[in-house]
Structures are given as C-alpha cells and as structure tokens.
C-alpha cells in the first residue's frame, strides 16, 4: 500500500512542534494559545493571537487572528522552515530526507545500545531533529562542536552549513548541563527514558556529552559524536536506534556515486570536490548487498561507483580495503556497473582532506 505521508505527518503534535519555534503555548480549555505565529512572527508578549485546536478528525489546526494564517502542521513547517512544497515539508517532518536513496531496511545493524522502545526512539530523534532544524552555525552554544569540524577536521564552514540545511547534521549545546537541559526541555524526560537515551538512575541523558548529531534518513537512528579526539577506550561516535539507512548526499552529477564510511567522510568528499551522489555507509557490519541493488533501481542514471572506504593500512587484513573489494564485486556482478576503488593513501577520506589542507 502507498504510504500517505501527509496523513502520517498530520498526526504529529502541532503544539509541540510550534513550541520549538514560537515559545510555550498556553492551554485554554481544549485549545492552545501562542503569542507568535509561523507567518507573521512575534507580536507583543501579551497578545495571544494564535490558537491551535483539534478538529473532528483529530488533526490539529492553527489560526492567527492577526494575519489570518491558518493550517496544519505541514503549513506551519513550510512557513517556519521556508519550504515551498507541502510534500517536502511532510517528508522533513517524518525524517525522509533521502526519499530516493534506499528503500530496503537493513536488519543486521547492531545498535550501540538496545532501545527500550523503538517508537520512543524514533519520537526522540524526530524531536531532536525538529529542534535542531534551522540552527545558526554561528550560535555560541555549539561553537566548539562547529570549530571541531571546521578547524580540526578541515571541513569548510560552507559544507557544514549545507549539511545542516540538508538536515543531516545538527548540534546540541557544547556545555553538558546546557545540553541536558536542552534535551529535557525539547524532547521531554518521558520520551528520553522510554527510548533508552536517558538511563534509569542517571542524572542526565548520556548523549548530553555528544554535541554533534548526524541523522539517518527516516529518523529511526542517529549518531551522536564527541567534539574532540577520544581518550583511550572512548568511542568517538555512538549510534542509537535500529536498522538505519545509509546517509545520502545528492550531488549535481547523477551518473556517479561515491561510497564512503560515515557522515564526516560525506562532508570530506564534498569538500574534496566530488560532484556525484554520496552514500555514507554507517559501518562495515551494518549493510546488505540488497541496499546497493535498491539504490541502483531508484537511481538508474548511475553509471559508475567510486568506492572510497577507509584504507586501514595499520590494521591486520586491512578491513576497509577488504570491504572495498567486496563492494566492487557486488556492483560489477549484481548491478552490472563500473566500480573503481579509490582509497585514500592511508586512513579515511577526512585524513586525505586534512593532508591536502596541510600541504
């Protein structure tokens, strides 16, 4: 059955969505009042000009008594995010930022932590994405996280900004207690606990220490990364949620697709001037050959694949190179397309970018 993305988006909570952008609503009987409007903005703090009510069908609507704007969560999202297509807004609300990338769910990926409740996890990740949409890259609250990507990882600010605009990347505050407050206020303790992101007995959610957030398509999974080099035994990035799809970056040349490992390497590939589409595979153990077949079917213009996994020269059997050879075999045999292995000299694509910037 075809999915009705509008119907799915319209059951999302309009009040909670508006509160991310317009401040807290005030409950009055069965409706909520706001002093700001998605269309005409904030008026005086005292004039409650916007009301949100649930219709007979259960869909919530807003109406502004000042400018006359009215609609559902989709209209609100279009106005707030500056999106022109209703379907696009519905997809963003639902986390479908890569509708044509890959349709087959991979079942063998191992989440970093078992989620208590996958629906609560998706709800939590969706909320985090809503509140991190449209962030200002120059906001001092995530200055360190941005500086880590731009200065230490050598990713140009414009590329970081584009990844934010594409809703692949978002930030929670650098400061741990601010991050915890930000999460509790925007997601709510109940959902954080139900999802397993906030462990029982802990003072704050563990992800408060990991300000760099990369969202996988469909929002069943997200990766939280520290904004510095890890200390011994510490994991750079933690992935939460189940069965994630690869990250996807649409380029200007539909004939070529690069396969890289992880979100930072997607941005590194863009920074190095790659013009094709880019698929960011979340890890060697979390993908299936069917994923590539589905991608080729959805993107039939693809003629050549550039495989750019890590070149793990210091590890036994070089797992990145082994993986590249496996991918090449699948692309040539199952997809009947050309596949070139173009591994970095050593390390990952981001190492290559940093080497280039040093010379």
DSSP β-bridge partners for residue 212: 171, 225
- Specify burial of residue 15 (Cβ count, 10 A radius: 0-12, 13-18, 19+): middle
* Structural tokens at position 117: 């409740």
CA-CA distance, 292 to 298, in Å (whole number)? 10
3-state secondary structure of 254: strand
CB of 69 to Zn ion, least distance (A): 5
* Structural tokens at position 26: 């005030």
**39 vs 214, beta carbon nearer Zn ion:** 39
* Structural tokens at position 294: 């589905």
**69 vs 83, beta carbon nearer Zn ion:** 69
**43 vs 181, beta carbon nearer Zn ion:** 43
**60 vs 97, beta carbon nearer Zn ion:** 60
Please spell the DSSP secondary structure of 216-234, one letter per residue. Answer: PGGGSEEEEE-SSPPPTT-
CB of 135 to Zn ion, least distance (A): 24
3-state secondary structure of 326: helix
CB of 60 to Zn ion, least distance (A): 17
Residues near 42 by Cβ (< 8 Å), separated by ≥ 6? 22, 35, 36
Looking at the chain, the number of H-run helices and the number of E-run strands are 13, 16
DSSP state of 244: P
CB of 324 to Zn ion, least distance (A): 54
CB of 101 to Zn ion, least distance (A): 36
Contact (Cβ atoms closer than 8 angstroms) between residue 43 and residue 49: yes
Q: Where do contacts with Zn ion occur on this chain (CB under 5 A)?
A: 37, 39-40, 64, 66-67, 69
E-only strand ranges, the chain:
26-28, 31-34, 36-37, 41-42, 50-54, 60-64, 70-71, 169-171, 212-215, 221-225, 237-241, 247-249, 253-261, 276-281, 304-308, 338-341
CB of 50 to Zn ion, least distance (A): 7
**39 vs 135, beta carbon nearer Zn ion:** 39
Contact (Cβ atoms closer than 8 angstroms) between residue 189 and residue 120: no
**79 vs 169, beta carbon nearer Zn ion:** 79
CB of 68 to Zn ion, least distance (A): 7
CA-CA distance, 50 to 305, in Å (whole number)? 51
* Structural tokens at position 212: 């760099």
CB of 64 to Zn ion, least distance (A): 3
CB of 36 to Zn ion, least distance (A): 8
**64 vs 269, beta carbon nearer Zn ion:** 64
**75 vs 310, beta carbon nearer Zn ion:** 75
**60 vs 299, beta carbon nearer Zn ion:** 60
Helix, strand, coil shares of the chain as percentages rounded to 5?
Answer: 40, 20, 40
């Amino acid at each position: 059955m075809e999915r009705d993305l509008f119907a799915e988006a319209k059951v999302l909570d309009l009040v909670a969505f508006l509160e991310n952008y317009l401040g807290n609503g005030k409950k009055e009987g069965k409706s909520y009042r706001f002093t700001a409007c998605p269309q005409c903005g904030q008026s005086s703090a005292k004039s409650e000009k916007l009301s949100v009510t649930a219709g007979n069908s259960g869909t919530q609507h807003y109406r502004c008594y000042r400018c006359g704007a009215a609609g559902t969560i989709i209209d609100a999202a279009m106005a707030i995010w500056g999106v022109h297509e209703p379907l696009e807004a519905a997809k963003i609300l639902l986390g479908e930022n890569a509708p044509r990338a890959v349709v087959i769910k991979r079942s063998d990926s191992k989440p970093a932590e078992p989620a208590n409740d996958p629906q609560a996890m998706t709800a939590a990740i969706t909320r985090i994405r809503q509140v991190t949409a449209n962030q200002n890259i120059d906001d001092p609250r995530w200055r360190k996280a941005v500086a880590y990507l731009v200065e230490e990882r050598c990713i140009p600010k414009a590329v970081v900004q584009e990844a934010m605009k594409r809703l692949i990347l978002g930030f929670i505050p650098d400061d741990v207690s601010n991050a915890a407050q930000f999460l509790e206020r925007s997601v709510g303790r109940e959902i954080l606990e139900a999802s397993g992101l906030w462990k029982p007995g802990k003072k704050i959610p563990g992800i408060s220490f990991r300000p760099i957030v990369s969202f996988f398509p469909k929002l069943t999974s997200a990766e939280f990364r520290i904004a510095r080099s890890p200390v011994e035994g510490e994991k750079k990035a933690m992935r939460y949620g189940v069965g994630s799809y690869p990250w996807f970056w649409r380029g200007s040349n539909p004939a070529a697709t690069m396969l890289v490992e992880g979100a930072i390497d997607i941005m590194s590939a863009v920074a190095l001037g790659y013009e094709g589409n880019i698929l960011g595979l979340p890890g060697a153990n979390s993908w299936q050959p069917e994923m590539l077949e589905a991608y080729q079917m959805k993107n039939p213009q693809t003629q050549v694949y550039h495989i750019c996994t890590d070149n793990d020269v210091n590890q036994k059997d070089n797992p990145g190179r082994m993986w590249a050879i496996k991918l090449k075999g699948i692309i040539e045999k199952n997809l009947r397309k050309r596949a070139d292995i173009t591994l970095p000299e050593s390390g990952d694509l981001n190492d290559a970018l940093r080497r280039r910037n040093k010379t």
